[in-house]
Amino acid sequence: MEPGNTPLVEMPGLAPAGTRLFAKLEWYNPTGSIKDRAAWFMFQDAKKRGLLPDGKPLIEATSGNTGIGLARLATVNNHPISICLPNTATPERKQILRAYGAELIEVEGGPNGAIAHANELVEAGHGHTVYQYGNPANPAAHEFGTAPEIARDWPLPEPPDHLVCAYGTGGTITGNSRGMRRAYPTINVHSVEPFVADPIGGMRSQDDPFQPPVADLSLVTHRWEIETQLATTMVQTTMDAEGHFVGTSSGAVLHAAQLLLEKHGGTAVAILPDAGWKYLSGAPWAG
Ligand SMILES: Cc1ncc(COP(=O)(O)O)c(C=O)c1O
């Protein structure tokens, strides 16, 4: 099953007075996150270019969601897959990865430690990496998938004023800012980031020493840094107001969307990477 065609819904319960907020619900993808799109594009691209002959092992550094999307594709296409992930990843992510057939290699040093370890394994000849941080097929999944879907489904006669994206590998914001600018030349692009010392799963700060080569932030007009605590509070607020159980990075995106609409007014489209189920063990409801 191909990813994409996720719902674009209005969230009137979260929009400040006089503004309108729409959200793209990316947990409607096959393994429950936006990263199914990049995984699909990168996997097909590697196959087309002959980089992934039948049976060749895959190796990828990921905080979880890309690995889950790739593991689904690898397993059904008979490629072994090893995932290098930070040892701080939630138990839910590890369990889902194992369920999809991946071998897990837990690494110290956060996402950057996972990237370094995966590169070592690839250099030693243990398999092929699609390397989401440097693979143009990652943003292409959004430029030619997510963004045209938003333009197709946008329900208002006037164009959206603001696009709001989480920044991680940069695939989402790079591809969507390119695709959306083509459809709406004046749209503002907002990058939502954690603080370096207060990480949020899947997200990266522009202040981090490692900046993914695939990220092109030249179309970004605004930058918002959101504390984990505020993102988590927004997860609960979104459940109360809209009945959607969003993940922590989606909480950060929605918090930034509220702030920017309060400041600038108008209409916004926010891209929500995943739902909250994978974060239950670390959430206030853990009990
Ligand atoms: C939960 C979550 N939020 C946000 C992102 C950031 O998306 P991108 O890598 O396209 O920048 C990711 C990426 O893995 C993610 O898993």
Q: 49 CA to middle of ligand 1, Å?
A: 25
Ligand 1 pocket, residue 35 CB under 6 Å: yes
pLDDT at 122: 97
- With 0-12 / 13-18 / 19 or more C-beta atoms within 10 angstroms meaning exposed / middle / buried, residue 2 is exposed
**Is residue 129 in a domain?**
no
Whether 243 and 266 map to the same domain: the answer is yes
Residue (of 265, 279, 246) closest to 23 by Cα position: 246
**Is residue 134 in a domain?**
no
Whether 20 and 39 map to the same domain: the answer is no
Kind of pairing, strands 162-166 and 103-107? unpaired
The closest residue, in CA terms, to atom 2 on ligand 1 is 202
pLDDT averaged per 10 residues, the chain (length 287): 97 98 99 98 98 97 91 97 92 93 95 94 97 97 98 98 98 98 98 96 95 97 98 98 98 98 98 95 73
**Is residue 279 in a domain?**
yes
Q: What DSSP character marks residue 102? A: P
- With 0-12 / 13-18 / 19 or more C-beta atoms within 10 angstroms meaning exposed / middle / buried, residue 6 is buried
Whether 113 and 171 map to the same domain: the answer is no
**Is residue 66 in a domain?**
yes
Instruction: Name the phi and psi angles at 185, rounded to 5.
Output: -60, -20
Whether 47 and 81 map to the same domain: the answer is yes
Considering the candidates 35, 63, 191, 205, report the single residue annotated as catalytic: 35
Residue 13 CA to residue 269 CA, distance in Å, equals: 14
What's the number of domains the chain is made of?
Answer: 2
Whether 79 and 39 map to the same domain: the answer is yes
Residue 191: both structure tokens together: 């990058």
Residue 274: both structure tokens together: 């995943």
- Domain limit, last residue, from 123, 158, 180: 123
Ligand 1 pocket, residue 65 CB under 6 Å: yes
**Is residue 2 in a domain?**
no
Q: 118 CA to middle of ligand 1, Å?
A: 18
Whether 194 and 276 map to the same domain: the answer is yes
Ligand 1 pocket, residue 199 CB under 6 Å: no
Cβ proximity of 32 and 275 under 8 Å: yes
**Is residue 236 in a domain?**
yes
Kind of pairing, strands 8-10 and 20-25? antiparallel
Q: 66 CA to middle of ligand 1, Å?
A: 8
Model confidence, pTM: 0.97
Containing structural domain, residue 191: 8-29+139-286
Q: Is 191 a catalytic residue?
A: no
204-236: buried (b, 16+ CB within 10 Å) or exposed (e) per residue?
Answer: bbeebeeebebbebebbebebbbebeebbebbb
Whether 65 and 172 map to the same domain: the answer is no
Considering the candidates 33, 191, 249, 250, report the single residue annotated as catalytic: 249
- Domain limit, last residue, from 123, 154, 180: 123
**Is residue 132 in a domain?**
no
The closest residue, in CA terms, to atom 3 on ligand 1 is 202
Whether 174 and 273 map to the same domain: the answer is yes
The closest residue, in CA terms, to atom 12 on ligand 1 is 202
Q: Is 249 a catalytic residue?
A: yes
Q: 120 CA to middle of ligand 1, Å?
A: 23
Cβ proximity of 188 and 177 under 8 Å: no
Whether 62 and 106 map to the same domain: the answer is yes
| Residue 272: strand, helix, or coil | strand
Residue 147: both structure tokens together: 């963004």
Q: 157 CA to middle of ligand 1, Å?
A: 30
HSE-up (13 A, CA, CB side) for residue 249 = 30
pLDDT at 287: 63
The sheet that has 81-86: what strands, in order across it?
58-61, 81-86, 103-107
**Is residue 258 in a domain?**
yes
Whether 239 and 146 map to the same domain: the answer is yes
Ligand 1 pocket, residue 170 CB under 6 Å: yes
Cβ proximity of 189 and 172 under 8 Å: no
Whether 109 and 153 map to the same domain: the answer is no
- With 0-12 / 13-18 / 19 or more C-beta atoms within 10 angstroms meaning exposed / middle / buried, residue 286 is exposed
Cβ proximity of 219 and 190 under 8 Å: no
Whether 66 and 115 map to the same domain: the answer is yes
Atom of ligand 1 nearest to the CA of 250: 3
Ligand 1 pocket, residue 250 CB under 6 Å: no
pLDDT at 286: 63
- The domain that holds 114 is classified in CATH as 3.40.50.1100
pLDDT at 88: 86
Query: Can you list the alpha helix ranges (DSSP code H) found in the chain?
Result: 35-48, 65-76, 91-99, 110-123, 137-141, 147-153, 171-183, 228-242, 248-264
Q: 166 CA to middle of ligand 1, Å?
A: 7
pLDDT in tens, 175-225: 999 999 999 999 999 999 999 999 998 999 999 999 999 999 999 999 999
- Measured between alpha carbons, how far apart are the two ends of the chain, in Å? 36
Ligand 1 pocket, residue 168 CB under 6 Å: yes
